[in-house]
Chains A and B, each alone.
Chain A
Amino acid sequence: AQSVTQLDSHVSVSEGTPVLLRCNYSSSYSPSLFWYVQHPNKGLQLLLKYTSAATLVKGINGFEAEFKKSETSFHLTKPSAHMSDAAEYFCVVIKYSGNTPLVFGKGTRLSVIA
């Protein structure tokens, strides 16, 4: 069975400092993984996706994530936080059985302090 665990429910960083949002996955297959972002009163927007090509994936807004099979991790990073990055972030894995293709983590709320 496929699942994801987001290790922090809330992360707080200062503007201009690095961001690290942690995600571990469990999958019986070679996984496909996504990160989504949700700003207040908005839907989910795709940040980036990993589909067994390059292990370092670059996304929008300066975010990137690295797939590490040995650690079963897919952590999201950004070198320098901006105030506009404050949002909820979801790590997602594709589930290959049935017709419910996405399994969502519980989310990490990122706060950026001026």
Chain B
Amino acid sequence: ETGVTQTPRHLVMGMTNKKSLKCEQHLGHNAMYWYKQSAKKPLELMFVYNFKEQTENNSVPSRFSPECPNSSHLFLHLHTLQPEDSALYLCASSQDPSGSNQPQHFGDGTRLSIL
């Protein structure tokens, strides 16, 4: 039990589909993050939310659209994805994103495959 739950665990979709990834944290944290983990590449930070407000967007293509309705929930809406978007998408949360020695807690990820 990590305190951060991601659904679905696996997702296969075509390039024209629209789907959403969901993340929920039960830790009372204020910040939430989306990461992309591809084979043979370092972990890539995609989005940061602090108190529901987006504070960072690391030049992510617009086919990825995040949504954070409250401090406990984070979504990643997907549309018109490309084969290179196949990866493990990890959600994380922390007490605050200011770097004050706070570790991030990760979910188990959604394995996304684009056909």
Query: A residues touching B (Cβ–Cβ < 8 Å)?
Result: 32, 34, 36, 41-46, 49, 51, 90, 94-96, 98-102, 104-107
Q: Known contacts A43-B107, A101-B94; is A94 also within 8 Å of B99 by CB?
A: yes
Chief secondary structure at chain A's binding surface:
loop
Does B62 sit within 8 A of A, measured CB to CB?
no
A99–B48 CB distance below 8 A: yes
Query: 7 tightest CB-CB pairs across the interface, nearest first?
Result: A43-B106, A101-B99, A99-B55, A44-B106, A51-B101, A104-B43, A43-B108
A32: which of B45, B48, B56, B101 is its contact (CB, 8 Å)? B101
Total inter-chain residue pairs, C-beta < 8 Å: 59
Tally of contact residues, B, Cβ under 8 A:
27
Interfacial residues of chain B within 86-103, with CB under 8 A of chain A in the complex: 90, 92, 94, 97-99, 101-103
B2–A45 CB distance below 8 A: yes
Q: Chain B residues near A51: list those with CB within 8 A.
A: 101
CA distance A84 to B66 in the complex (A): 35
